[in-house]
A and B are shown apart, each in its own frame.
Chain A
């Protein structure tokens, strides 16, 4: 009887417990158990590549591993560290503390190659694991680094196009939820939920990596030899507005942005603005020719000094009274001649041409931190504004804007927005071409032809840039030596920005190359510092783009009038 009662009590207790576990707490316990088995892992989206115009990679994402450690599983941190150290390239003394303790998850090394991980894995060290991640690789290192930019430690764009095109490149991360058994294996019959990641788009630039390379080499060497603060080169295709190269020096290695100065990581070609100096005379004289106020043969009497608004203007070399043609004014870069020519069209027209050529207007490349340049509104012009602006002082441009002025003249007078992005390529292979900007006529075709003729005289024997010649080709261009404005004080310094912007072939223009050398210590003039760089870059570009000489001869254009 007692036995019966005891059994009944025990069974009741069991029953009660059963009821509690299965009915009362049942659902929550089942959930907790599932929670133990369920594992959600992020599936990172593959970041799109950045390619040059031929599809060669400038930035690609590859698989990598992070080495992690479970400190509780490591018995001998010192010896583990000693074995890891030579493989991951971190000092053993630095590794040991990371392996000592009772944390179950610490990072030992980040973004090593899968190969390196295989070597670690072969050691079969207890407590050492890896997680799969990705690494951004720039195969060219410094090649187009300032254009392409770089990513931070988390793989997010921090500079250049990597930053500007983050949305397009990044894609969308996915995730996977599954029930795992011991050892992390997926339990086959259990539920698996998977949201596939969406890979980012590839971006194909208009940059030609070979021309880019030659441009970078050339400007780096010039900056070195001229002991300049910096230098930039832009190469553009005249008919399409495509930017084939944007080089700047000093530059940086995109694989190791941390070791470079912040100033060297930006893209000076678009971010730095400066006074264009004499290269702006092309805008002034284009306006004069387009308004039919003068033609390349028109003779203008150029006095040794010219008083305007209480200031006396001079040319760079003292001279007596000269009788220069408009071509001669261009070839010899006469300030006084340019002022006198500009006065033939007046300040409103001059301002209008400056605006129509794109001064103070963004380039449409949407590059981060682009400097748009500036020209004061014509209402605010003083008596000295027209003379100074006519020869390129008191306004600012960036290098691409300056190059685009010449591309506009070379393109029969039609201005188009420079293009840096050729296309986006979706993961499915769909090619999305960004809209090309508007095309506007700035000067007539005939005016364009006349200005090009005048530009050819600049590299002629009487011009300022005989060093910019290319044997076998007819080229033209304009030199510039502008006073450097210190951005800290907004004042003029003794330094200059020496430039040469040229067009080839001049009678059937295909390419424009612009060279800027900022604050040189050795040498000063655009023709002397920029000319040879132009020649080297343009010579290569003509070969690379397979542009043969036109085979015509330059006309003889008088620079001075007799008598």
Chain B
């Protein structure tokens, strides 16, 4: 222990030395003769208490922070899982709906629906050229429509439609198809037909539903044809 005390004393001297002004140096040099022991430094009780407090605080802060971060990460993981589940459910729902749409818009479903509405396939494609209103093709009533209806369809669709009033966007590169499947009103369904403006027959962007028919041509087979 004594050596430490000496060392402290020496260190004290050495450390202080550069800070001394010239006259002090001279004074010290004189005092050098009376070298004596210095009492050991007593630990400062107050500052040690502060130190412990600070360390504890840091530790506690670190622990709490860790806890908060971990909790929030775990919470995040739960949220992610919940959201994933929701996403999955929504995706599945979307797919189920898309599948439904695909099935409903398949040609066979459309044909069925069209027939339900009383539509029949057209046997003669007829076009109106725009501008000019020239009728291309031979308009002919579709087989299977009552004659009065046929007359009305023919009148509406082919002859009295004011072609020049049609928006030009309706014109395809070559003309407008009007030979599409025409609705044939059945009992009590007349209202439906009247609600449809003649123009609705001639939207060329919509695929016209032409469906199976036994075909008048099969009945025309009176004479055997040879090859």
Contacts and interface: CB of A to CB of B under 8 A. Distances in A.
Interface of A: 56-57, 60, 62-63, 113-115, 132, 137, 139-141, 143, 185-189, 209-210, 212-214, 217-218, 221, 278, 316-317, 333, 464-467, 470-473, 479-481, 498, 525-528, 531-532, 535-536, 539-540, 542-544, 546-549, 551
A2 B126 CA distance: 116
A141 B112 CA distance: 15
B95 A467 contact: no
Interface stretch (B11-19, B23-31, B132-140): B132-140
B171 to A, nearest CB: 10
B104 to A, nearest CB: 9
A210 B107 contact: yes
B123 interface: yes
A143 B108 contact: yes
19 contacts: A56-B105, A62-B98, A62-B99, A63-B92, A140-B108, A143-B106, A188-B77, A210-B107, A212-B107, A213-B108, A472-B126, A526-B227, A531-B217, A535-B215, A546-B173, A546-B174, A548-B127, A549-B127, A549-B136
Given A140-B107, A141-B106, A548-B174, A543 B225 contact: no
Interface residues of B, number: 60
Nearest to B212: A217
Given A214-B210, A535-B215, A528 B179 contact: no
B99 A539 contact: no
B184 interface: no
B208 A544 contact: yes
Nearest to A137: B99
B136 A217 contact: no
A241 to B, nearest CB: 20
B160 to A, nearest CB: 20
Nearest to A117: B92
B68 interface: no
Contacts of A465: 225
A12 to B, nearest CB: 33
B59 interface: no
A57 B107 CA distance: 12
Given A140-B108, A473-B137, A539 B227 contact: no
B10 interface: no
Given A472-B125, A525-B226, A528-B221, 13 more contacts: A57-B102, A62-B96, A115-B92, A278-B227, A471-B140, A472-B137, A525-B224, A532-B217, A543-B122, A544-B210, A546-B175, A549-B127, A549-B136
B196 interface: no
Contacts of A471: 123-124, 137-138, 140
Nearest to B69: A189
B44 to A, nearest CB: 39
A528 B218 CA distance: 9
* Candidate in A139, A467, A481 with the most chain B CB atoms within 10 angstroms: A139
Contact of A317 (B129, B172, B226): B226
